Amino acid sequence: MRPTVHDIAAAAGVSLATVDRVLNQRAGVRKVTRERVEQAIERIGYVRDVAAANLAKSRVYPFVFILPSGDNSFMRGLEAQVRAAMRRSSMERAVISIVTVPAFNAEALVAALDEVRVTAPAGVAVVAVESPDVIAAVNRLRANRIPVVTLVSDLAGSNRDHFAGVDNIAAGRTAASLMGRFLGGRTGPVAVLAGSMLVRDHRERLDGFRAVMEETFPGHALLPVMEGQDDPVLAERLVGETLAGTPEIAGIYSLGAGNRGLIAALKRRANGHSICVIAHELTRHTRAALNDGLIEAVLNQDAGHEVRSAIRVLKAKADGVAVIGAQERIRIDIFLKDNLPFEDGGENQEPGQGEDV
């Protein structure tokens, strides 16, 4: 049987209350007593039963997720995953709420962060937009001892506790590596479709992609980056123009969420040589394009994993315990037509279909 507080009380010759005081580092214990208790704890190898502790405290964790609004498929999938977590959250004593703000809008995000702060939640997960004001707002949360994890897109220079997302530089490098090899002997320039250079994940992907293309595949020039604001209509127009202006194009790297527009533009281009397209995020649009051979590879981040990880980390930070590092490392999934997860396996769906939640 695992040792309990009673055992350590007996071993140290003190009462439960005193043990509790030293365990929770509260004041009101003489130094000698404290040391005696600490030795006992060490000696009998006590580890606190967190479940029992939470029960006694009837602790709940009010967490807030701040997500961009808009009809970006990936972000809506992310929100669906948060909602799925909400449904399970009663089990984990977490009470999750969602706040949405316009995408790529630092001002709105700052307002949301400050509003959330006054409700004193046990933790905040936020899809960051990079700006000094946002950094300041996040730091205000931290100053109030509220744990913060950035989700999907990180916020360098802030005091956020953790980033629940992929290594986007590596993602860009990987995309370039695949692009270069898939292109094989083919020649011609490569185009890049981004959402906005205001978010760190897009910038990092571009940096990584550009680095490997220049180092390893200098034969393929990079066309000027198209910024589609993750808007299907704008993206379709930009891609269409580029295809018209540079018909000898060999490949396209879509590093943002403008895939619906990209796919539309590719489909309108009835004939011509094959173009190697690599995109991000497995949604129903990219999945279909992968199956049709319109897209060769999709790099994906598992939104469900990111959300569950964010919750685990927030909870761990909230009660000051460690996390399993490897479990919180979000992988870059590479999907080809051949390793697509069965059916709509959980990455961008309202859960409950196909999974035994």
Site residues for a copy of itself per CB under 8 A: 2, 47, 49-52, 54-55, 88, 90-91, 167, 170-171, 173-174, 176-178, 181-182, 184-185, 208, 212, 296, 302, 304-305, 308, 322-327, 329, 331-334, 336-339, 341-342, 345-347, 351, 354-357
- Nearest Cα to 330, choosing from 176, 201, 163? 163
Q: Which is nearer to DNA, 50 or 197 (CB)?
A: 50
Q: Which is nearer to a copy of itself, 245 or 325 (CB)?
A: 325
Residue 326 sits in the site that holds DNA (CB under 7 A) = no
Q: Give which of DNA, a copy of itself, none residue 219 binds (C-beta under 5 to 8 Å, depending on kind).
A: none
| Residues constituting the chain | 357
Q: Give which of DNA, a copy of itself, none residue 28 binds (C-beta under 5 to 8 Å, depending on kind).
A: DNA
Structure tokens, 237:
């127009």
Q: How many CB atoms lie under 10 A from the CB of residue 331?
A: 11
Q: Which is nearer to DNA, 57 or 181 (CB)?
A: 57
Window 2 to 21, contacts with DNA (CB under 7 A): 2, 4-6, 13-18, 20-21
CB of 37 to a copy of itself, least distance (A): 20
- Rounded to whole angstroms, what are the CA distances from 302 to 27, 164, 212, 312? 44, 11, 24, 15
In three-state secondary structure terms, 3 is coil
Q: Is the dihedral of CA 73, 257, 252, 242 positive or negative?
A: positive
Q: Give which of DNA, a copy of itself, none residue 304 binds (C-beta under 5 to 8 Å, depending on kind).
A: a copy of itself
CB of 191 to DNA, least distance (A): 57
Q: Are 166 and 330 in contact (CB under 8 A)?
A: yes
299-304-307 Cα angle (round to 5): 115
Backbone angles phi, psi at 79, to 5 degrees: -60, -40
| Region at 70 (left for phi over 0; alpha for psi -120 to 50; beta for the rest) | left
Query: Which x/- pattern, by CB under 7 A, does the window 54-93 give for DNA?
Result: -xxxx-----------------------------------
Q: Where are the beta strands (DSSP E) in the chain?
A: 61-68, 94-101, 123-126, 148-151, 162-164, 190-194, 226-227, 251-254, 276-280, 297-300, 333-335
Q: Which is nearer to DNA, 52 or 244 (CB)?
A: 52
Q: Give which of DNA, a copy of itself, none residue 270 binds (C-beta under 5 to 8 Å, depending on kind).
A: none
Which residues in this chain contact DNA in the complex, by CB under 7 A? 1-2, 4-6, 13-18, 20-21, 23-24, 28-30, 32-34, 46, 48-49, 52-53, 55-58
